[in-house]
């Protein structure tokens, strides 16, 4: 599975059920659907500050970097997505500060509250990074060029389904699959040619059969989606409440609990834990993170094959180095490995390139067909 990693802009998925259900809709087109929708126009005065500077939140370094596949770029330095039944846009003001616009919501105060929670605004990225920089000179150097790479706090069900879709997949296909699932939810509006929906409820997802998902291009992932939905529905307290309860547990218990669901292994569980369950020191270890770790944290493991046991050693190394927010540090280091971002770096990367040449064929390469793919279980 991939914590798939699309290319961020430079600087700036069993059992068929016998009961008939309506066929699934065609996945929405990524841009400018042929259907005629009234285009929503907003005045600048409708935008309000989030009270986050660009150093606290960089939209291009946060949204297109594999954490979520439901937010769309709807303008220069502008991204739009749904949080529950709230449709919201975020954009950078000329001075870099982040502003938001609520396009649709049953309650504007609830929408703002959902947005602040989603953005983890109770955590100061600047203060956190000061601590990381003090512990790691390389992080200190990279942080100067990638300010604002923030970890999101997503809805657990949304996050889980998205990462099931990303298993051994590429970015464009993951996005189409996630768009397909999203289209099953209530329609919230159109922004700049994109159709937005509330994420479907667990009950709505339970009406979807494995065969329907296969016909929609999910492949083997279809059985994992339907299997996981069934497993969640069987929880006595309800699947959504069960997922939310994981936020109160220790990381290992969270990982073990998630791994009882079909299609979820260690790396997928770690992604879900980090991006939706408040497990800030969770480390999703794929070939990208493995390469970072064996170059800078545990060089003695260079040339070894990545195994579950070694994944644990890598995760421990990150936590030892960066502490209780190690997952946030790993996110910045992950983004800095993108070729499109490396090209923007000064001579700080020279020594890394020389080191890479010395490792030669021993260095493991990702199998992703697109830049930034996170390898799956």
Between CA 14 and CA 262 the distance in angstroms is 10
**What is the CA 252 to chain-centroid distance, rounded?**
20
Residue 161's Cβ-side half-sphere holds a number of Cα atoms within 13 Å equal to 29
Tokens coding 335: 């983004």
Could you tell me which residues come within 8 angstroms of residue 216 by beta carbon, excluding any fewer than 6 positions away? 24, 27, 177, 180
Which has the closest alpha carbon to 3: 301, 271, 337?
271
Distance of alpha carbon 350 from the chain centroid: 30
| DSSP per position, 243-306 | HHHGGGS-HHHHHHHHTTSTT--HHHHHHHHHHHSS-TT-----HHHHHHHHHHT-GGGTTSPP
**Cβ atoms 288, 377 nearer than 8 A:** no
CB 283 within 8 A of CB 300: no
| Count of positions (residues) in the chain | 377
* Active-site hit among 2, 147, 267, 357: 267
CA atoms within 13 A on the CB side of 51: 8
Nearest to 3 by CA among 327, 237, 285: 285
Instruction: Please confirm, yes or no, whether 267 is among the known catalytic residues.
Output: yes
Q: What is the dihedral of CA 285, 291, 295, 301, to 10 degrees?
A: 70
Which of these, 282, 242, 364, 197, lies nearest to 3 by C-alpha position? Answer: 282
Cα–Cα distance for residue pair 105/37, rounded to 1 Å: 19
Number of other residues whose CB lies within 10 A of the CB of residue 234: 10
Residues 6+ away with beta carbon under 8 Å from 365: 287
DSSP label at residue 1: -
Show which residues are catalytic: 267
């Amino acid at each position: 599975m991939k914590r798939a990693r699309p290319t961020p802009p430079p600087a700036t998925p069993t059992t068929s059920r016998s009961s008939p259900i309506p066929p699934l809709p065609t996945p929405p087109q990524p841009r400018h659907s042929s259907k005629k929708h009234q285009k929503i126009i907003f005045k600048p005065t409708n935008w309000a500050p989030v009270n986050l500077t660009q150093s606290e939140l960089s939209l291009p370094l946060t949204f297109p970097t594999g954490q979520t596949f439901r937010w769309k770029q709807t303008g220069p330095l502008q991204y739009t997505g749904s949080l529950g039944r709230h449709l919201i846009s975020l954009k950078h003001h000329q001075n870099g500060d982040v502003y938001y616009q609520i396009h649709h919501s049953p309650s504007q105060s609830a929408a703002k509250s959902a947005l602040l929670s989603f953005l983890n605004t109770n955590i100061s990225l600047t203060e956190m990074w000061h601590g990381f920089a003090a512990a790691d000179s390389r992080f200190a150097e990279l942080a100067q060029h990638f300010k604002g790479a923030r970890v999101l706090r997503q809805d657990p069900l949304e996050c889980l389904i998205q990462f099931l879709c990303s298993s051994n997949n590429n970015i464009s296909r993951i996005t189409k699959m996630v768009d397909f699932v999203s289209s099953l939810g209530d329609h919230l509006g159109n922004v700049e040619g994109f159709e937005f929906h509330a994420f479907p409820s667990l009950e709505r997802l339970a009406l979807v059969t494995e065969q329907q998902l296969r016909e929609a291009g999910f492949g083997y992932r279809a059985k994992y989606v339907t299997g996981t939905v069934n497993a969640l529905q069987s929880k006595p307290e309800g699947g959504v409440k069960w997922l939310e309860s994981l936020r109160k547990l220790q990381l290992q218990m969270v990982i073990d609990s998630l791994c009882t669901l079909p299609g979820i292994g260690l790396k997928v569980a770690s992604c879900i834990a980090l991006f939706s369950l408040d497990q800030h020191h969770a480390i999703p270890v794929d070939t990208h993170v493995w390469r970072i770790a064996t170059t800078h944290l545990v060089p003695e493991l260079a040339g070894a094959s990545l195994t579950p046991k070694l994944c644990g050693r890598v995760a421990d190394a990150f936590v030892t180095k960066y502490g209780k927010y190690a997952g946030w540090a790993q996110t910045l280091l992950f983004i800095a490995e993108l070729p499109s971002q490396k090209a923007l770096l000064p001579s700080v990367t020279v020594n890394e390139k020389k080191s890479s040449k010395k490792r030669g064929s021993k260095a493991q390469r990702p199998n992703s067909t697109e830049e930034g793919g996170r390898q799956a279980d």
